[in-house]
Amino acid sequence: MTNTKTKNRNELLPGTLEMLILKTLSIEPMHGYGIAQHIQLLSAQVLTIEEGSLYPALQRMLIKGWVLAEWKISANHRRARFYKLTTAGKNQLGVQESRFSQMSGAIMRVMKTT
């Protein structure tokens, strides 16, 4: 084997996962699987949220008090854990949005110079 395949890591810009989750939940409460689907769909399959990234992120956000979780039954009659934003979570979404736009704006300024 001649190692033709380079690892395809870094599927999404690190540091943006929590923001994407917060944004998704700001539309409506959703379970983990649904969150991943929603982001993938809206991004036209560009962003793929791995389960091994998603659930630890949701745990962190629970601990920080940004979301609340509740076991319910999904549209497909399976038990699922629905997450909803708290007030702190909504604030955090604002913080992350403005920081992201500041950062990406700064990066673009650097990248646009001739």
Partner DNA sequence: TCTCTTTGCATAGACGAACTATGGGAGTGG
Partner DNA sequence: CCACTCCCATAGTTCGTCTATGCAAAGAGA
The answer to whether the beta carbons of residues 38 and 105 sit under 8 Å apart is no
Q: Is 60 in the site for DNA (CB under 7 A)?
A: yes
Nearer to DNA, 79 or 112 (CB): 79
With CB cut-offs between 5 and 8 Å by kind, which of DNA, a copy of itself, none does residue 25 bind? none
Task: Return d(Cα 92, Cα 18) in angstroms, integer.
Answer: 10
Nearer to a copy of itself, 73 or 103 (CB): 103
Number of Cβ within a 10 Å radius of residue 22? 22
Residue ranges that bind a copy of itself, judged by CB under 8 A: 10, 12-16, 19-20, 23-24, 27, 39, 42-44, 46-47, 97, 100, 102-107, 109-111, 113-114
Residue ranges that bind DNA, judged by CB under 7 A: 7-12, 14-18, 31-34, 49-53, 55-60, 74-82
